[in-house]
Amino acid sequence: MERTTRVGNRLLAALPPADFALLAPHLRKVPLERDAVLVRSGDWIDQLYFPCSGAIAFIMGLPNGQTVATAVIGNESAVGLMSAISPSRSPMTAVVRVPGTALQIPPARFHAALGRSPAIADAVQILTRSMLAQFQHVAACNALHSVEARLSRWLLHIHDLSDGGDLVPLTQETLSELLGVRRTTVTHVVRALRASRALRSNRRGQLEIDRPRLEAAACECYKVMSRRIDRIVSGGAERDYTAPAGDDRQRPASPLARAAS
C-alpha cells in the first residue's frame, strides 16, 4: 500500500524497483481535468496514461450518435496500453469523468522497456485481463438488468474512484452517455432513486448518494465485478521475479493463472 501511495498507479507500483526504473525517467505527471478527452475513437494513440487518481470512462459510440460506457477505470488500470505492443488506433473514446492525475508516457518509450522486462509484460497481461473482466460484466449487466440497477452500479463504481465524500461529480448528460439512454430516462431513474433515498440530492453537476441504500438498489454485478478485478490486479504484486531464469520450480505461476475467472 505504501508504494502504491508513492507511485500512485497500482500497476506501476507492483513492478519491482529495477523494472519501474526502466519507465521512471520517461513518466510525466499530468492533471486529468473533468470532461477532458484523452483519446478519441479512431485516433492513433500517442500517449499512455496510468491514472493515479480520478476516474476515466471508455465510451463506445455508434453511427447513429448513441453512446454507452463499456468500462470505467481508475488507478488500477491504464489508457492506451495495448498500443505499446503494436501501434494502433483507439477503438473507444476515453473521457475523464472524475478529475485527478496520471502518469503519462509515450508508447515508444513504454515499448522499449517492455522488451526488457517480464514484469512489465505481465502488467500488460494483467491490465488486459482486468479490462476483459469489466467488459464482460458490463455487457451482461446491460442485457439483463434494469436501468435503475445499472445506474446504481456505475455510481458505486465511480464513487469508489472519487475522494469527494458522498458527492459524485456527474451530470445527467454524463449519466445518459454512460448508460446509453435518453436524458428523459435518466431523469426518471434519478427521481426513483431519490424517492428511495439512495440519492439524497441532485445538485447541478453532482449527485449526493446514500451508499448503503445505493448498494441495495444496485445489481449483484457491482460487487462481483469489483472483487474479480481487484483479485486480478492484486495478484500482480505477488509474483517472484527473483527466481533464476529457466527455473520453473522456483518461479510461481503468473498472477493471471491464479486470478479468479
Query: Which residues 6+ apart lie within 8 Å of 223 measured at CB?
Result: none
Q: At what angle do helices 118-144 and 147-160 cross, to 10 degrees?
A: 150
**Domain spans of the chain, in order of start:** 2-145+219-258
List the end-to-end C-alpha distance of the chain, in Å, as a whole number.
25
Q: Do 57 and 94 form a contact (C-beta atoms < 8 A)?
A: yes
User: Which residues of the chain carry a pLDDT beneath 70?
Assistant: 1-5, 164, 202, 236-261
For domain 2-145+219-258, the question of CATH label 3.10.20.30 is answered with no
Residue 64: its pLDDT value, please? Answer: 85
Query: Using one digit for the tens of pLDDT, what is the confidence trace for 202-259?
Result: 677 789 999 999 999 999 999 999 999 999 988 755 554 444 434 433 333 333 333 3
pLDDT at 95: 96
Supply the pLDDT for residue 162: 87
DSSP summary character for residue 210: -
